[in-house]
Amino acid sequence: MEKVIIVRYSEIHLKGKNRGYFEKQFFNNMEKALSDMPHIIRKNSGRYLVEQFADEESTLDALKKVFGCHSLSVAYKVESGIETIYQAAKSVTKESGSFRITTHRADKKFPLNSVELSAKIGGMLLEDYPDLTVDLYNPQFTIFLDVREEGYSLIYSEVIKGAGGMPVGTAGKGMLLISGGIDSPVAGYMMAKRGMCLDAIHFHSYPYTSPAAREKVEELTRLVSQYAGSIRLYIVKVTHIQEEIHKNCAPELMVTMLRRFMMRIAERLALKTGAQCLITGESLGQVASQTIEGMTSSNSVVESLPVLRPLVGFDKEEIIERAEKIGTFETSILPYEDCCTVFLPDHPAIHPKKERVLAEEEKLDVEGLIEEAFQSMEIVRF
């Protein structure tokens, strides 16, 4: 008996004549996820078999993070025959409890049909394990038999949920504005789940923010890259912009005006690097800058690209739940400040008026400040 991992894809089967493109990208992404582990991946009738792997747990953990994967099962692969199938079924059964057997017989030349094979193997198990009982409707566990046309069968008892979504690389490329908070890593994860490649941009205010705050963002980007694949993180200093706003402009508009600079810089970088949209972790009404007026003010400076806000209708508990699921939450709550906390006014404007914001920006050398920010840019690759 050989142990293999069955990988089933999710939405790819809906893609009709374009399915081959999505299957190829999904295959390539699995190969990347397993690149430092021994393995062979073979395509098998709308799914994949991973064979000759060394460490089951590590291989499963890597595959579960590949978007496009609907579910996985660790199975025994045996030559199709009553006795070989039965021996594999014994290896996945429990010695007591209720069970059922579900058989799929793709090989129509196999001498028993699906119902007959289920009954045969079930009867043999009942003879060997007197504490087992059959329950076809509410069993404690199920044994799956899959008799393939190629002359082998797959036997397993567990179906493990995958990451779902679409393969990364099938839906263009986005520029994620990533902070050290809870929201933006989740936003990046969600867009990667829809097949989008990611680059990321982070704004810092050294020396008002510490090197530890930057390290936190780098770690968050690394965690997101486990799902999204390779990410280039662009790190941009905006200390000079904040100082100029603080010195020359109305304090209650500090956050609004800083956000506008961030969006301008992010869009210009996106256009240079081939990203087709901006992605933020904003949730409507969560903080002062995330009112509809605040978002409108930020959007108004973006000239060419759409701004995607995958969390816009989520409440904080929903976002935290997803952050915990993908493993970013514990890093996000580390107590290191980000640039938005620098020079934070006591009462930031909740409903900033466009005319007033534009009047305040007239006091600044917007283009000069943006150019200075680009001069500070560093790149870290994950």
**Residue 218 burial (CB count, 10 A):** 17
Asked if the model's pLDDT at residue 205 lies above 80, the reply is yes
Which residues in the chain belong to E strands, given as ranges? 2-9, 40-43, 47-51, 69-79, 97-105, 132-134, 141-147, 152-156, 160-161, 173-177, 197-204, 232-237, 278-279, 307-308, 378-381
What is the structure's pLDDT at 295?
86
The CB-based long-range contact list for 313-316 (8 Å cut-off, 24+ gap) reads 313/283, 313/284, 314/283, 315/283, 316/182, 316/283, 316/286
Task: Please check whether residue 171 is in contact with residue 157, taking contact to mean a CB–CB distance below 8 angstroms.
Answer: no
Task: Please check whether residue 97 is in contact with residue 141, taking contact to mean a CB–CB distance below 8 angstroms.
Answer: yes
What is the structure's pLDDT at 7?
97
Residue 327, sorted as left (phi over 0), alpha (psi -120 to 50) or beta, turns out to be left
pLDDT digits (tens, 9 = 90+) for 332-366: 999 876 655 666 666 677 778 888 989 989 999 99
- Average pLDDT score over the chain: 93
pLDDT digits (tens, 9 = 90+) for 5-58: 999 998 887 888 888 899 999 999 999 999 999 999 999 877 899 999 999 999
Q: Which of 64-78, 81-95, 333-347 is predicted least confidently?
A: 333-347
Query: Cis before residue 207, ω within 30 degrees of 0?
Result: yes
Label residue 109 exposed, middle or buried (CB < 10 Å: 0-12, 13-18, 19+): exposed
What is the structure's pLDDT at 339?
57
What is the structure's pLDDT at 354?
83
Asked if the model's pLDDT at residue 171 lies above 90, the reply is yes
* Share of residues in the chain with pLDDT > 70 (%): 96
The closest alpha carbon to 91, from 153, 139, 174, 37, belongs to 153
The closest alpha carbon to 279, from 380, 197, 377, 166, belongs to 197
What is the structure's pLDDT at 310?
97
Overall residue count recorded for the chain in this entry: 382
What is the structure's pLDDT at 188?
98
Q: Return phi, psi of residue 297, to 5°.
A: -65, -45
pLDDT digits (tens, 9 = 90+) for 248-302: 988 888 889 999 999 999 999 999 999 999 999 999 877 766 888 888 888 899 9
> What is the per-residue burial (b if ≥16 Cβ within 10 Å, else e) of 290-323?
bbebbbebbeebbeebebbbbbbebeeeebbebb
What is the structure's pLDDT at 96?
95
The closest alpha carbon to 195, from 68, 10, 61, belongs to 68
In the chain, what are the domains? Answer: 2-161 (3.30.2130.30), 173-381 (3.40.50.620)
Q: Which of 65-79, 131-145, 241-255 is predicted least confidently?
A: 241-255
User: What radius of gyration, in Å, describes the C-alpha atoms of the chain?
Assistant: 27
What is the structure's pLDDT at 298?
87
> What is the per-residue burial (b if ≥16 Cβ within 10 Å, else e) of 46-72?
ebbbbeebeeeeebbebbbbbbbbbbb
Task: Please check whether residue 183 is in contact with residue 100, taking contact to mean a CB–CB distance below 8 angstroms.
Answer: no
Asked if the model's pLDDT at residue 237 lies above 70, the reply is yes
Asked if the model's pLDDT at residue 155 lies above 60, the reply is yes
What is the structure's pLDDT at 238?
95
Tokens coding 134: 């059959």
pLDDT digits (tens, 9 = 90+) for 298-335: 889 999 999 999 999 999 999 999 999 999 999 999 98
d(CA 207, CA 226): 30
What is the structure's pLDDT at 333?
92
One-letter-per-residue 3-state SS of 58-123: HHHHHHCCCCCEEEEEEEEEEECCHHHHHHHHHHHCCCCEEEEEEEEECCCCCCCCHHHHHHHHHH
Task: Please check whether residue 255 is in contact with residue 289, taking contact to mean a CB–CB distance below 8 angstroms.
Answer: yes
> How confident is residue 115, by pLDDT bands cut at 50, 70 and 90?
very high
Asked if the model's pLDDT at residue 93 lies above 80, the reply is yes
Task: Please check whether residue 330 is in contact with residue 231, taking contact to mean a CB–CB distance below 8 angstroms.
Answer: no
